[in-house]
Each structure stands twice: as C-alpha cells, then as structure tokens.
C-alpha cells in the first residue's frame, strides 16, 4: 500500500511526471547515461521554473489584483479558479482523483497508440484538475468504487488526446512544425477564438492585407515597447494604478489596508498605493519572464527525448505541452489577448447582473478572474492572431472572455454540493466536459453511465481500424 501511495504522489507531481517522460524517451533511444541524467534533470528544472513563474504570478500580482478589483468596484460573486475548486473537492474526492489520474495517463498512452490521435498529454496539474472534475461528475451520476475509477480513467484518457487534436491545426500553423502538440484544458475556448479570428480576419491575412499583432509598429519613442518585459511592465503598472486609484477613493479604504483586506500583507507591505501598483506591475512582468524561461528549457530537452517514445511506444507521438508554449511566438498577442479577454469578462459580468432578475436572482455572478483571463485569454489571443491577425485577436479574445464567463454558469448546477461553492472551474474544457458528462449522467445512472464511458473511449480506436486512411501525399 505504501508503494502505491508513493507511485500516486510521483504521478501527481507534474515536474516529476514530465521528467519521467524525458527519461523514458532518452532511455528508449539508448542514450548515454550522462545524457539521460542531464536531459531528465533539465526537463524537471524547466518545469519547476515554469511552475515557479506561475505560482509567483498567482500568489502575488494576479491574486492581489483580483482582490483589489473586487474591492474597488464592490462586486461579490463566484470567482472561477481551478486551484480553489480542486482544493475544496479533494477533501471528499482525493483518493478517487488520484486513481483516475494514474490510470487515466495509462489510458492516454493506449488511445494514443491505437487511435489516430497520437498525443501524450504532459500538463500534469491540468490532468489532476480534470481527474478531479470527472470524479465529481461521475459520482453525482451514481458511480463509485472500481466503476468510478474505470469510467473516469477512460474519459480522462480520451480528453487527453481529443483536445490536443483539436488544437493541432493552429499549432502547426503557428510553430511551422507538426512535432509539438498543445496540452491545456481550455482548448474549446482557444479553438473558438481561432475560428472567430479566421472569420473576421482570415481573408485579409491570406490576401496579405491583414496585420498581425506582431506587425504593430510603435513610434520610435515607443520602440522600447517591443521588449516584451518592458511592454508588460508598463501596461500592468497602468492597470494597477487605475484600479488602486479607484479603490483608494472608498471611505473604508484606510481600514481595509490596515486589516490586510486588499492583499496578504496590506498592500504588500507598502504604505503608498502608487509605489505598490508600480511594483506589482513589474512583478507581473517578472513572472512572465520566468514562465517563458521555463518553457524554453523544457522544449529544448523534451522534444528530442520524445523521439524515443515515438519510435518505441507510440509511433509519431507528439508531446502536448502547457499553454505558455505558444507565448514566445506572439508576445504582443499575449498581452492583447489577456486585456481584451478581461474586458470581455467584465462585460459578461454586467450582462449576468442585468439578466439575473429575470431568472429570480438564481444565476451565479461570475467575476472576471485574472488568472484564467491571463493564461487563457493570452493563449486565445495567440490562436486568434494566428488565423485572423490583429483584428481577429481583438474580437476573438473578447468573445473568448464572454465564453469563459457564461460556461461556468451552466457548469455549476451539475456539480452536486460543490455547485454551491464560492468558486468553480474556470477553463473552457473543464466546463465543456463537465456539461456533456453531467447531462449524460442525469439521463443514465450507475452501470449504464459506465458503459457510455467505455464506448466513448473505444470509438476513436475502432474508427482507426475500420475507417480508410488517407494516402500520404
């Protein structure tokens, strides 16, 4: 039993999981022991650097911005946050989540090997979150014990290849290669933004009349804005100053600061909100710099290592990497996508406030969470820009912001008692899978629901063997 617990802990640690993938790939290529050790360690370190950047953002600037924004504009409601809802859910579903995650990764390898969607999903924390969400919904659907673990693992393995497959056409166009997949469970939103971008700006881009976000020509005196770190710092400093200025006009502002209500340490230990806003803006840019450094380190090691897996276990396997993998390809789109998606979230919030009386004030009011709008909005901006340029990026990101505002409203009622929590899943794929699986579980309870899970898993494999394959050009 102790061995199983150790294995569960290893497989639920994203950095170790990615490192093991690199180790396996290098070992299968019969690389020298020194190369295996070096590649494995650098991959783990790269993931830790990426995770450190994300944690630095979420526990610092992003978290404080959300608190100050809510305080400044006097809004109360549900803040979508994957980490928060999973933390709440694991008190009840920890064991089921761990088993679903472990066997779900095995199911991922199986379906990648025997279907045409040959992606290995490497975003460990999202694998954990999706396992937790599936455990919740299937439990509400009457599954428990081995049936819950089997059904949940198969569904998890399935979505770990479906969503990378959905994103791959854009990834191929963006990166210029078909060697790297995309593994982040908000792909429905990114695909949606990409289609909007293609619709509103695709024709102009094909004709050479469109303008990419990366073609923006700043005046000479603004040439320093071409530096991503500088551009993000200045933009976020301005945003923090505006929000802090509004917060400072509230009559109870001094008391809120004294009590530490506006951040974990009362404006981060600063007595002047202007200084605090400037530091937070630059902290934000520092977090992005750390994330990008981690991504570069991971890609430098894991892509060559994956050749071993591709050759030995899963022919033509593609590593599906976390969303920051696309950030270096369109830094301007990252910033524009975040800001415009956040505006879409604010508009969506006011729409919910406006229509709530029509529904007897029963709708949850979804507040614009900075974390999902940054990571998901930024990625949506890159996807939309890839197909529709600047125009596509702006419109696609805005509609993406609306999408991840309204999807949680539909998701919350299907999550049983957790649907009444003050937070919920934020990213589009969690909501999409939850909605589909949730409504199926309302129609089919217990064993019939398990059978549906098995059928869904087998369909891509059966299709691979019975449907004619396209001839290689």
At 104 the pLDDT is 87
pLDDT at 266 over 60: no
Six-digit token pair at 372? 């999902």
Is residue 212 assigned to a domain?
Answer: yes
23-37, 47-61, 255-269, 456-470, range with the lowest pLDDT: 255-269
Largest CA distance in the chain: 71
Asked if 194 and 397 touch (Cβ cutoff 8 Å), the reply is no
Asked if 161 and 121 touch (Cβ cutoff 8 Å), the reply is yes
Comparing CA positions, the residue from 448, 454, 406 lying closest to residue 426 is: 406
At 184 the pLDDT is 92
Could you tell me where the DSSP H helices lie in 313-369? 331-355
Mean pLDDT, rounded, of the chain = 81
At 410 the pLDDT is 86
7-11, 86-90, 267-271, range with the lowest pLDDT: 267-271
Exposure string of 224-256, with b = 16+ CB inside 10 Å and e = fewer, is: ebeebeebbbbbbbebbbebbeebeeeeebeeb
Share of the chain above pLDDT 90, in %: 25
Asked if 80 and 369 touch (Cβ cutoff 8 Å), the reply is yes
pLDDT band at 158 (very low <50, low <70, confident <90, very high): very high
Is residue 468 assigned to a domain?
Answer: no
What element of type H or E holds 319? strand 318-321
Is residue 40 assigned to a domain?
Answer: yes
Q: How long is the chain? A: 473
At 89 the pLDDT is 74
At 69 the pLDDT is 75
At 270 the pLDDT is 62
pLDDT at 278 over 90: no
Whole-angstrom distance, CA of residue 317 vs CA of residue 303? 10
Asked if 154 and 457 touch (Cβ cutoff 8 Å), the reply is yes
At 100 the pLDDT is 87
Is residue 324 assigned to a domain?
Answer: yes
pLDDT in tens, 98-138: 788 878 888 998 999 999 999 988 887 788 889 888 998 89
Task: For residues 68-93, give the mean pLDDT.
Answer: 72
At 134 the pLDDT is 92
Half-sphere exposure of 178 (CA within 13 A, CB side): 6
Whole-angstrom distance, CA of residue 263 vs CA of residue 249? 17
Whole-angstrom distance, CA of residue 134 vs CA of residue 457? 14
Exposure string of 134-145, with b = 16+ CB inside 10 Å and e = fewer, is: bbbbbbbbbbee
For helices 2-11 and 82-114, the axis angle rounded to 10 degrees is 90
pLDDT in tens, 355-390: 888 877 777 778 787 778 888 999 999 999 999 889
Site of tokens 């923006």: 216
Is residue 470 assigned to a domain?
Answer: no
Render 179-244 in DSSP notation, one character per residue. Answer: S-EE--TTHHHHHHHHHHHHHHHHHHHHTT----GGG----GGGGGGGSHHHHHHHHHHHHHHHHH
What element of type H or E holds 153? helix 145-175
Site of tokens 């004709």: 207
pTM score, whole prediction: 0.77
**Number of domains observed in the structure of the chain:** 1
pLDDT in tens, 297-343: 776 776 677 656 666 778 888 888 888 888 888 888 888 898 899 89
Torsion, CA 379, CA 383, CA 389, CA 395, rounded to 10: -70
At 122 the pLDDT is 81
More confident residue, 47 or 5: 47
More confident residue, 53 or 77: 53
At 426 the pLDDT is 84
pLDDT at 11 over 50: yes
* 3-state class (DSSP) for residue 66: helix
What element of type H or E holds 175? helix 145-175
pLDDT at 473 over 50: no
Is residue 127 assigned to a domain?
Answer: yes
Is residue 159 assigned to a domain?
Answer: yes
DSSP 412: G
pLDDT at 250 over 90: no
Is residue 349 assigned to a domain?
Answer: yes
Asked if 71 and 247 touch (Cβ cutoff 8 Å), the reply is yes
Task: For residues 256-281, give the mean pLDDT.
Answer: 70
pLDDT band at 406 (very low <50, low <70, confident <90, very high): very high
Task: For residues 258-267, give the mean pLDDT.
Answer: 60
At 12 the pLDDT is 60
- Identify the bridge partners of residue 181 per DSSP, sorted by sequence position: 320
pLDDT in tens, 421-430: 556 788 899 9
Domain encompassing residue 124:
2-461
Comparing CA positions, the residue from 129, 71, 460, 25 lying closest to residue 254 is: 71
pLDDT band at 199 (very low <50, low <70, confident <90, very high): very high
Cα–Cα distances (Å) from 126 to 117, 169, 184, 322, 372, in that order, read: 19, 21, 7, 9, 13
């Amino acid at each position: 039993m102790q061995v199983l617990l150790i294995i569960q802990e290893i497989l639920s640690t994203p950095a170790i999981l990615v490192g093991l993938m690199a180790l396996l790939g290098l070992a299968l290529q019969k690389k020298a022991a020194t190369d295996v050790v070096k590649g494995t360690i650098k991959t783990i370190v790269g993931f830790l650097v990426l995770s450190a950047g994300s944690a630095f953002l979420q526990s610092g600037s992003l978290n404080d911005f959300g608190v100050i924004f809510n305080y400044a504009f006097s809004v109360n409601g549900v803040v979508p946050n994957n980490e928060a809802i999973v933390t709440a859910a694991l008190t009840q579903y920890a064991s089921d989540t761990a088993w679903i995650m472990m066997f779900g990764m095995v199911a991922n390898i199986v379906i990648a090997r025997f279907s045409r969607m040959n992606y290995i999903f490497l975003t460990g924390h999202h694998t954990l979150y999706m396992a937790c969400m599936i455990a919740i919904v299937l439990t509400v659907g009457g599954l428990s014990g081995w049936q819950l673990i089997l059904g949940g693992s198969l569904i998890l393995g399935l979505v770990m290849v479906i969503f990378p497959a959905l994103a791959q056409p854009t990834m191929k166009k963006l990166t210029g290669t078909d060697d790297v997949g995309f593994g982040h469970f908000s792909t429905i939103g990114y695909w949606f933004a990409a289609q909007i971008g293609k619709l509103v700006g695709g024709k102009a881009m094909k004709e050479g009349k469109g303008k990419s976000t990366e073609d923006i020509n700043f005046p000479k005196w603004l040439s320093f804005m071409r530096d991503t770190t500088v551009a993000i710092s200045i933009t976020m400093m301005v945003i923090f100053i505006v929000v802090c200025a509004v917060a400072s006009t509230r009559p109870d502002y001094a008391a809120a600061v004294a009590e530490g209500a506006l951040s974990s340490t009362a404006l981060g230990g600063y007595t002047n909100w202007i200084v605090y806003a400037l530091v937070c803006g630059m902290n934000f840019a520092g977090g992005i710099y750390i994330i990008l450094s981690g991504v570069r380190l991971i890609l430098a090691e894991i892509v060559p290592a994956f050749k071993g897996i591709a050759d030995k276990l899963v022919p033509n396997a593609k590593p599906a990497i976390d969303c920051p993998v696309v950030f270096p390809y369109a830094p301007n789109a990252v910033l524009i996508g975040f800001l415009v998606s956040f505006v879409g979230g604010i508009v969506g919030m006011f729409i919910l406030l406006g229509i709530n009386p029509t529904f007897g004030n029963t709708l949850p009011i979804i507040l614009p969470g900075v974390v999902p709008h940054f990571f998901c909005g930024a990625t949506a901006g890159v996807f939309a820009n890839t197909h529709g340029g600047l125009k596509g990026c702006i419109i696609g990101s805005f509609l993406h912001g609306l999408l991840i505002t309204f999807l949680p409203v539909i998701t919350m009622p299907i999550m049983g008692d957790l649907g009444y929590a003050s937070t919920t899943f934020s990213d589009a794929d969690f909501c999409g899978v939850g909605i589909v699986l949730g409504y199926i579980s309302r129609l089919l309870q217990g064993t019939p629901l398990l059978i549906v899970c098995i059928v869904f898993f087998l369909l891509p494999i059966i299709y691979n063997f019975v449907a004619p394959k396209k001839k290689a050009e």
